[in-house]
């Protein structure tokens, strides 16, 4: 047991680091593709600079399809779909210990295993063993909203149906 | 009509009267698989006038086929024996899967939350190709990060995933992805394929009560939800989901934002184990979805409604 202690301590520290990352501070990301940094979150806004693929960014905020970032001394907006998001520190933990511990436990990152204790999960075995619950499904069905009720609620939120074309499969799959 | 023909007729009537979910015309199938062998013993002149008559013949005579194919498993013929599953049958299947899922993870006891999710979900479903279904949505008591769809319009999101959402558009994106699975009948297609594979097992030929037949069809418990769909179906549901949410008036980037969040910020990797097992990695989904979306949504205005998102008690 004593031999394990340094490992547990390291895992605890990693977990603590992850948590501090989660509580705010800063979030980092990586550019998935080259993109322009815009002064405002729309395509016709003034271009302030560029990011290259692989550039690290600091993510400040999100608005619809745009992320406000700091990169290369510039602060502006890049497309959400151009960025892979990740917290500072997390990637390193996953890379350093996730490869070994992750294989052994089926999870990635030792720091994270600690936090799973007592969590109510839903895995393949539980689903397979699940027994039909008539009361629950009847309850669920009784909570269904009518289309009219849903339409009114949408209206209250200012939502209106829009005409939007279907998205084609970019890989040209059979449709 | 000989005894064999009567038996065959009764078999068909039995299936239709019990309203079971037999997705397959068993007689057609039996003929496709066993028929050719038996036919060798039959007189060739005894050919049925119509296909319908042939079906009643319960593996006796078969319609004329090319002699060369007779000893082979004729996949084309088997496929043609799969009839359309009726909407009632589809709902029965979905209800059974959902009841099983709720047996593993019950609804969160929060009426206001459940009513809210149903209103949001139903509005998006009204934009789908299956707005006439009676859609049922629910938040289930699991810390896992996941969402599920079952045939017939049953959609569930775990409280673990719900707790990560930041606005109504993100909820809309998740629900719309699941609605897309129902619209495209992705799970039904999996079930049909499975039945074709195990067709010799005769699983549906006995007269048993409806629920038992359905359970037999879907396997053990809600395992069908743990096996997942193929990648193509998931990417398709992502594309359709984005479009459905946008048609409902929501910010189209709700689903991409959720994928980005799950891909990067999941503290507890155990909570996404099933999601990652049954879906392509969120980074891959985001990348493929990004290619499809491109700049098409640049000028589409949608609402995010962060203030309206109901927080769990």
Provide the shortest C-alpha distance from residue A15 to chain B (in Å): 9
pLDDT (tens digit, 9 = 90+) per residue, B149-165? Answer: 999 999 999 999 999 99
B172 pLDDT band, cuts 50/70/90, is very high
Neighbours of B55 (CB within 10 A): 18
A81 Cβ partners below 8 Å, 6+ apart? A32, A65, B256, B286, B289, B290, B293
Size of interface A-B (CB pairs under 8 A): 252
Sheet holding A56-63, edge to edge: A47-51, A35-38, A74-79, A66-71, A56-63, A27-31, A83-87
Say whether A122 and B105 touch across the interface (CB within 8 A). yes
What pLDDT, on the 0 to 100 scale, is given for residue A119?
Answer: 52
Label residue B75 by pLDDT band (50, 70, 90).
low
Contact B226 A144 (CB under 8 A): no
Identify which has the larger pLDDT, B186 or B7: B186
> What pLDDT does B209 receive?
53
pLDDT for B275-292, tens place per residue?
888 898 888 898 899 889
Query: Is B123 in CB contact (< 8 Å) with chain A?
Result: yes
Query: Is B69 an 8 Å CB contact of chain A?
Result: no
pLDDT in tens, B41-73: 444 444 444 444 444 444 444 444 444 444 455
Q: What is the rounded average pLDDT of the residues B111-137?
A: 98
Do strands A56-63 and A83-87 pair parallel, antiparallel, or not at all (unpaired)?
Answer: unpaired
Distances (CA, A) of B98 to B104, B106, B147, B290: 10, 10, 12, 32
| B226 closest CA partner among A158, A1, A124 | A124
Question: What is the DSSP track for B179-202?
Answer: HHHHHTTHHHHHHHHHHHHTGGG-
Interface test with B, best of A35, A121, A153 (most B CBs within 10 A): A121
Residue B298 and residue A147 in contact, taking contact as beta carbons nearer than 8 Å = no
Q: What is the dihedral of CA B29, B34, B40, B43, to 10 degrees?
A: -40
* Predicted confidence (pLDDT) at residue B1 exceeds the cutoff of 80: no
| Contacts A23 to B, Cβ<8 Å | none
Name the DSSP class of A98.
I
Distance of CA A175 to the CA centre of its chain: 29
Best B92, B104, B167, B172 member to test A by mutation, with max A CBs in 10 Å, is B104
Tell me if B263 and A85 make a contact (CB, 8 A cut-off). Answer: yes
Nearest-Cα residue of chain B relative to residue A168 = B292
What residues contact residue B62 under an 8 Å CB cut-off, 6+ apart? B31, B35, B36, B38, B39, B42, B54
Mean pLDDT of chain B: 78
B12 close to B204: Cβ distance less than 8 angstroms = no
At residue B79 the predicted structure's pLDDT band, cuts being 50, 70 and 90, is: low
* pLDDT at residue B72 in the model: 52
How many whole angstroms separate alpha carbon A69 and alpha carbon A76? 6
d(CA B166, CA B168) in angstroms, rounded, equals 7
Write b or e for each residue in B270-282: b if 16 or more Cβ atoms lie within 10 A of its Cβ, otherwise e: bbbbbbbebbbeb
H or E stretch including B139? strand B136-140
Query: Residue A168: which of B273, B292, B305 has the nearest Cβ?
Result: B292
Q: If contacts are CB pairs under 8 Å, which of residues 62-101 in chain A contact chain B?
A: 62, 64-65, 80-87, 90
Q: Which residues of B touch A80 (CB under 8 A)?
A: 253, 256-257, 260
Record the tokens describing residue B194, joined without a space.
Answer: 């499975």
Contact check, Cβ <8 Å, A129/B142: no
**Could you tell me the two tokens for B13?**
């009537």
Closest residue in A to B96 (Cα–Cα): A132
Which residues are A56's β-sheet partners?
A: A30
Contact A121 B271 (CB under 8 A): yes
B207 interfaces chain A, CB cutoff of 8 Å:
no
Main-chain dihedrals φ then ψ at residue B301, nearest 5 degrees:
-95, 130
Rounded to two decimals, the pTM is 0.72
Mind listing the pLDDT tens digit for each residue in A101-124? Answer: 333 333 333 333 333 334 566 888
How distant is the Cα of A144 from the closest Cα of chain B, in angstroms? 5
At residue B125, does pLDDT exceed 80?
Answer: yes
Q: Looking at the DSSP assignment, which residues form a beta bridge with residue A30?
A: A56, A84
Helices (H), ranges, chain A:
5-22, 90-93, 99-105, 110-114, 124-129, 134-142, 147-156
Q: Does residue A43 or residue B194 have the better pLDDT?
A: A43
Q: CB distance from B232 to chain A under 8 Å? A: yes
Phi, psi of B140 (to 5 degrees): -110, 155
Q: Which residues of A touch B155 (CB under 8 A)?
A: none
Binned at pLDDT 50, 70 and 90, residue B85 comes out as confident
Statement: residue A26 has pLDDT above 50: yes
- Span of A108-112, A145-149, B63-67, B190-194 with lowest mean pLDDT: A108-112
Q: In what order do the strands lie in the sheet with B154-158?
A: B136-140, B154-158, B147-150
**Closest CA of chain B from A35, distance in Å:** 12
* Preferred mutation among B95, B101, B216, B224 to probe A, highest tally of A CBs within 10 A: B101
Q: How far is CA B11 from the centre of its chain?
A: 27
Dihedral-angle region of residue B91 (phi above 0 means left; psi in -120 to 50 means alpha; beta otherwise): alpha
For A57, residues 6+ apart whose C-beta sits below 8 A from its C-beta are: A28, A29, A30, A31, A51, A67, A69, A70, A71, A78, A83
Contact between A143 and B136 (Cβ < 8 Å)? yes
| C-alpha distances in Å from residue A30, one per residue of A55, A70, B219 | 6, 11, 43
* Shortest Cα distance, chain A CAs vs residue B208, angstroms: 17
> Given A87, A109, A166, which is nearest B265 (Cβ)?
A87
pLDDT score at B149: 96
Touching check for B60 and chain A: CB below 8 Å? no
Reply yes or no on whether the pLDDT at B146 is more than 70.
yes
- For domain A27-85, the CATH class is mainly beta
pLDDT at B299 over 60: yes
Report the distance separating Cα B195 and Cα B93, nearest Å: 14
In this predicted structure, the answer to whether residue A3 has a pLDDT above a threshold of 50 is: no
A123 vs B contacts (CB less than 8 Å): 144, 226, 273-274
Q: Is A104 exposed, middle or buried (0-12, 13-18, 19+ CB in 10 A)?
A: exposed
- Contact assessment for residue A144 and residue B136, using Cβ atoms and an 8 Å cutoff: yes
- pLDDT (average), residues A62-90: 85
Q: Do B118 and A145 touch (CB under 8 A)?
A: yes
Residue A107: the pLDDT is 37
Take residue B174 and report the two structure tokens written for it.
């998740």
Q: B212 vs A13, which has greater pLDDT?
A: B212
* Alpha carbons A68 and A80: distance in angstroms, whole number: 9
Listed by start position, the domains of chain A span: 27-85
């Amino acid at each position: 047991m004593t031999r394990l202690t340094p490992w547990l301590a390291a895992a605890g520290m990693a977990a603590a680091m992850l948590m501090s990352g989660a509580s705010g501070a800063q979030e980092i990301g990586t550019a998935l593709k080259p993109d322009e940094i815009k002064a405002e979150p729309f395509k016709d806004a003034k271009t302030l600079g560029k990011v290259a693929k692989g550039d690290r960014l600091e993510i400040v905020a999100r608005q619809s399809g745009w992320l406000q970032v700091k990169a290369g001394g510039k602060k502006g907006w890049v497309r959400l779909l151009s960025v892979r998001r990740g917290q500072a520190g997390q990637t390193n933990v996953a890379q350093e210990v996730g490869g070994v511990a992750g294989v052994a436990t089926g999870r990635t990152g030792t720091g994270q295993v600690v936090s799973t204790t007592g969590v109510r999960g839903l895995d393949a075995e539980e689903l397979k063993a699940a027994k039909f619950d008539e009361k629950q499904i009847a309850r669920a069905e009784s909570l269904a909203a009518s289309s009219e009720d849903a339409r009114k609620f949408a209206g209250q939120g200012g939502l209106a149906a829009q005409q939007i074309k279907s998205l084609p499969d970019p890989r040209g799959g059979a449709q | 009509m000989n005894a064999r023909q009567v038996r065959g007729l009764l078999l068909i009537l039995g299936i239709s009267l019990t309203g079971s979910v037999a997705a397959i015309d068993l007689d057609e199938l039996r003929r496709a698989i066993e028929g050719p062998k038996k036919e060798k013993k039959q007189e060739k002149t005894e050919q049925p006038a119509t296909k319908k008559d042939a079906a009643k013949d319960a593996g006796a005579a078969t319609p004329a086929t090319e002699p060369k194919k007779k000893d082979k498993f004729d996949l084309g013929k088997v496929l043609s024996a799969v009839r359309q599953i009726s909407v009632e049958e589809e709902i029965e299947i979905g209800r059974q899967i959902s009841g099983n899922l709720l047996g593993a993870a019950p609804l969160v006891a929060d009426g206001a939350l459940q009513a809210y999710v149903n209103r949001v979900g139903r509005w998006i479903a009204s934009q789908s190709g299956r707005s006439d279904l009676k859609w049922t949505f629910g938040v289930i008591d699991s810390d896992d990060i996941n969402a599920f769809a079952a045939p017939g319009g049953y959609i569930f999101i775990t409280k673990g995933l719900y707790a990560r959402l930041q606005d109504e558009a993100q909820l809309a994106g998740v629900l719309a992805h699941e609605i897309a699975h129902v619209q495209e009948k992705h799970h039904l297609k999996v079930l049909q394929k499975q039945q074709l594979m195990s067709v010799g097992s005769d699983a549906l030929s006995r007269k048993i009560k409806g629920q038992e037949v359905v359970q037999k069809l879907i396997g053990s418990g809600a395992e069908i939800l743990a096996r997942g769909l193929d990648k193509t179906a998931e990417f398709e549901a992502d594309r359709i989901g984005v479009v459905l949410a946008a048609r409902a008036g929501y910010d189209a980037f709700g689903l991409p934002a959720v994928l980005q969040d799950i891909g990067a910020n999941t503290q507890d990797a155990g909570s996404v184990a099933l999601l990652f097992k049954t879906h392509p990695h969120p980074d891959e989904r985001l990348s493929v979805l990004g290619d499809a979306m491109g700049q098409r949504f640049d000028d589409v205005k949608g609402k995010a409604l962060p203030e309206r998102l109901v927080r769990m008690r």
